């Protein structure tokens, strides 16, 4: 039997709208792992949040991995070690944060266990609740990034998205070659090192574990999943995906994230 790898996004994909793994998805995951296949959580979330979600789904066994920060860090929860990581310079991050603060745009960084930011905002509270992470208010941009970061994230309400788009164009775009950014939904601008994406992580991981790219399947629903969907042999797009995402995959699920869509993908492409 050839080993296959499933790269699965969390929000809107593996997790339902209540941020839970459905029983159907859980059953399919357990069956795939029992047969020696590999399951890789692939998310924009920070490691602490991604590890908690993976643990809740039982994805801490041998053969399970976590790709977090949109590909910036790859973690082996079974052996409790980082197998890949790429950051960008702290001084660049400090400049980005200070510019965001001038524009009254919420921006945040992370340490190993907490969200770090200068101001307490509604955007922060909502993000912390969704990701089930504590947050800490610090005094300056320098304290938001105690070391070179894997990523920053700029948040707005849906109604203020234009502010975030303007920030991307005027502040982030001129830093091409050092950092890049993209939206993981209509409110979250993900700011990461140049060259980092979930798609990069797919290729790196397959090489790392010695599984041919032809044996890879990716499941996703949002803009930050596009490179992953394109990189994997099978790009499975959730039927509840954001408009325009389906064109980047080669399969669209019949079932959404609330009705075992990932189980459908596992049974069709991993277990078949």
Query: Which tens digits make up the pLDDT trace of 209-260?
Result: 999 999 999 999 998 899 999 999 999 999 999 999 999 999 999 999 999 9
pLDDT at 158: 80
* Confidence (pLDDT) at 1: 63
Q: Where are the beta strands (DSSP E) in the chain?
A: 5-8, 38-42, 64-68, 73-76, 81-85, 106-110, 115-117, 135-137, 152-155, 179-183, 188-193, 216-220, 234-237, 251-252
DSSP strand pairing (73-76 vs 81-85):
antiparallel
Of 206, 107, 234, 208, the residue nearest 164 (C-alpha): 107
Going along the chain from its start, the domains and CATH numbers come out as 5-86+196-270 (3.40.50.1000), 90-193 (3.30.1240.10)
237 strand-pairing partners: 220, 252
In the sheet that holds 179-183, the strands lie side by side as: 135-137, 115-117, 106-110, 152-155, 188-193, 179-183
pLDDT interval class at 185 (50, 70, 90): confident
Alpha-helical runs (H) found in the chain: 23-34, 47-56, 90-102, 122-131, 141-144, 161-167, 198-209, 226-231, 261-265
pTM: 0.91
Question: What is the distance between the alpha carbons of residues 224 and 226, in angstroms, rounded to a whole number?
Answer: 6
pLDDT per position as a tens digit, 28-75:
999 999 999 999 999 999 999 999 989 988 899 999 999 999 999 999
Predicted local confidence at residue 56, as pLDDT: 86
Predicted confidence (pLDDT) per residue in 124-153, tens digit:
999 999 888 999 999 999 999 999 999 999
């Amino acid at each position: 039997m050839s080993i296959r790898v499933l790269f699965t996004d969390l929000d809107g994909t593996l997790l339902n709208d209540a941020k839970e793994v459905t029983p159907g998805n859980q059953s399919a995951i357990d069956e795939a792992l029992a047969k020696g296949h590999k399951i890789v959580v692939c998310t924009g979330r920070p490691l602490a949040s991604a590890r908690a979600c993976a643990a809740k789904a039982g994805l801490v066994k041998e053969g399970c991995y976590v790709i977090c920060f949109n590909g910036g860090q790859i973690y082996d929860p079974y052996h409790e070690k980082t197998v890949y990581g790429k950051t960008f310079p702290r001084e660049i991050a400090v400049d980005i944060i200070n510019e965001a603060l001038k524009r009254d745009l919420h921006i945040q960084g992370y340490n190993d266990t907490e969200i770090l930011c200068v101001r307490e905002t509604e955007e922060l509270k909502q993000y912390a609740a969704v990701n089930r992470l504590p947050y800490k208010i610090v005094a300056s941009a320098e304290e938001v990034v105690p070391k070179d970061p894997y990523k920053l994230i700029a948040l707005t309400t849906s109604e203020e998205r234009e502010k975030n788009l303007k920030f991307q164009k005027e502040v982030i775009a001129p830093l091409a070659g050092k950092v890049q950014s993209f939206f993981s939904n209509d409110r979250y601008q993900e700011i990461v090192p140049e060259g980092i994406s979930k798609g990069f992580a797919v290729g790196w991981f397959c090489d790392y574990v010695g599984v041919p790219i032809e044996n890879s399947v990716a499941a996703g629903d949002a803009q930050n999943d596009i490179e992953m969907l394109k990189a994997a042999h099978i790009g499975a797009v959730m039927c509840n995906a954001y408009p325009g995402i389906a064109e980047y995959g080669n399969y669209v699920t019949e079932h959404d994230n609330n009705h075992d869509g990932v189980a459908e993908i596992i049974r069709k492409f991993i277990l078949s």
